[in-house]
Structure 1
Amino acid sequence: MKLLIGDKNYSSWSMRPWLLFRHFGIAFDEVLIHLNQPGTNAAVLEQAPNGPGKIPCLIDDAGLAVWDSLAIAETLAERFPQHALWPRDAAARAHARSVSAEMHSGFGELRSNMWMNIRASFAGKNATPGVLADIARIEAIWRDCLDTYGGPFLFGEFSIADAMYAPVAMRFRTWQPPLSETSLAYVRRLSAQPAVKAWIDDALSETHTIAYLDECP
């Protein structure tokens, strides 16, 4: 299988499925396509002509294109049932799907105002009321999951839910909003998880830049 991704420093959506491949030891070829370039869309379509030209995009061994991070995650869970990408327990699995879908569709204020840039440091900036409300909800989700399932990750072992929230942890490292000790400890554990650390290390070594994402007014 082949996974098309954007720059590791900036592409929060690419990070999510990549972590699942890496953590669960699922073999894949990585194709990195730089974002925000005149030929970005054409480069994606060249690799996945049956898709909409978006990344991340999974191309399976039969040439089927699957785009969107959560769709890719569900595809991997379906094809590799030997791995607990979702929790095995049905109630925990429903809970994990719910908080993952909430991440997928929500938190627009955080996304808009605290974008992912692993190499940057924008400490204390852009903490608008809307952003702080999003952060409060994320912290409540994390606290509830960690209390309910005992950690160290949201549903005990690392799962799709943690991959969905990993870019949020990257944002928190960059923007450094006020967080509870529970949230800070989770961010530290997630950052030290081998697949996440590998992504961070790769992001730090990239040289491609996107000017508007490297500046904070």
Structure 2
Amino acid sequence: MELVIGTKRWSSWSLRPWLALKRTGASFEEIEVQLRQGAATDAAIAQHSPSGQVPVLKVGDLTIWDSLAICEYLAETFPEAKLWPEDPILRALGRSAAAEMHGGFQALRGECPMALDIRTTLEISEATQKNVRTIVGRWNRLLTRSGGPFLLGDWSIADAFYAPVATRFRTYGIRLSEYGDAGAAQAYAERLLATPEFLEWERASLA
């Protein structure tokens, strides 16, 4: 099994399935393509990806080229890893939250890209502020319903999808207390960035 990813400092889409794959305990080969190298990056990705993007999971002659599709494949292939909860309601809510992140929050993603090697402050736009408020509300409601410590109780694919968001809040000095958080969302963001899997990724990204 091979997981083709982009530069770890920047590739939020690669981080998501990498975290899920690490949680399965399965062995895999990691192929890191250096992003932002123009034609060289395009050529390197084209060797692996039918979409021209990363991440890509390769299992024998099977190629899966979307982060959410990769995570769902892992959940089905490694049920013992419990990447989704057994509770069907929590599972549905988690899939909704992951899909929302997968296809939404364009302002936050565009204005505050993942950059693990940076700490700064940024005056974010009204559109990005709206995204942050929505995310804080979503996190708080899911944490209240599940009882935490992660969105659906135990760690899940939903947390993999929001881990890069937690890095963005940290990188750009976004204070969640200014967006309706009484502390639970901030504590959750800190838990995401303290998992052994994320810390392993971060160390490698800064090496």
**1:43 counterpart residue number:** 44
1:136 deviates by 0.3
**2:48 and 2:56 in contact (8 A); partners too:** no
How do 1:157-196 residues align onto structure 2 when only pairs under 5 Å count?
Answer: 157-179=154-176, 180=181, 181-196=183-198
Give the distance between the partners of 1:17 and 1:168, measured in 2 at CA: 14
CA contact 1:58–1:66 (8 Å) conserved in 2 = yes
Give the aligned residue type for 1:9.
Answer: R
Match of 2:205 in 1: 203
Indicate whether 1:128 and 2:130 are aligned.
Answer: no
Separation in structure 2 between the aligned mates of residue 24 and residue 83 of structure 1, nearest angstrom: 5
Q: How many residues align?
A: 201
- Tell me the secondary structure at the aligned position of residue 4 of structure 2: strand
Structure 1 counterpart of 2:27, one-letter code: A
Question: 1:86 & 1:73 partners in 2: Cα distance?
Answer: 10
2:17 is matched by which residue type in structure 1? P
The residue number in structure 2 matching 1:3 is 3
Q: 2:106 & 2:155 partners in 1: Cα distance?
A: 25
**TM-score, normalised to structure 2's length?**
0.94
Equivalent of 1:147 in 144, 147, 159: 144
- Answer yes or no: is the 8 Å Cα contact 1:3–1:30 preserved in 2: yes
Alignment of 1:95-114 (within 5 A): 95-114=93-112
Q: Residues 135-163 of structure 1, C-alpha deviation per residue, up to 9 Å, x if partnerless? A: 00000110011111011111111100000
Task: Say which is worse superposed, 195-204 or 164-173, in terms of deviation.
Answer: 195-204
Match of 1:20 in 2: 20
Shift of 1:23: 2.2
Task: Return 8-17 or 175-184, whichever deviates more.
Answer: 175-184
- 1:53 positional shift: 2.4
Aligned to 2:56: 57
Q: CA deviation at 1:203?
A: 1.5
**Unmatched runs of 5 consecutive residues or more in structure 1:** 206-217
SS at match of 2:191: helix
1:29 and 2:26 equivalent? no
C-alpha displacement of 1:79: 1.2
Specify the alignment match of 2:83 in structure 1. Answer: 85
Q: Report the equivalent of 1:213.
A: none
Give CA-to-partner distance per residue, 1:112-171, whole Å, 9 cap, x none: 111110111122x14111111000000011001111101111111110000000000010
- CA shift for structure 1 position 110: 0.2
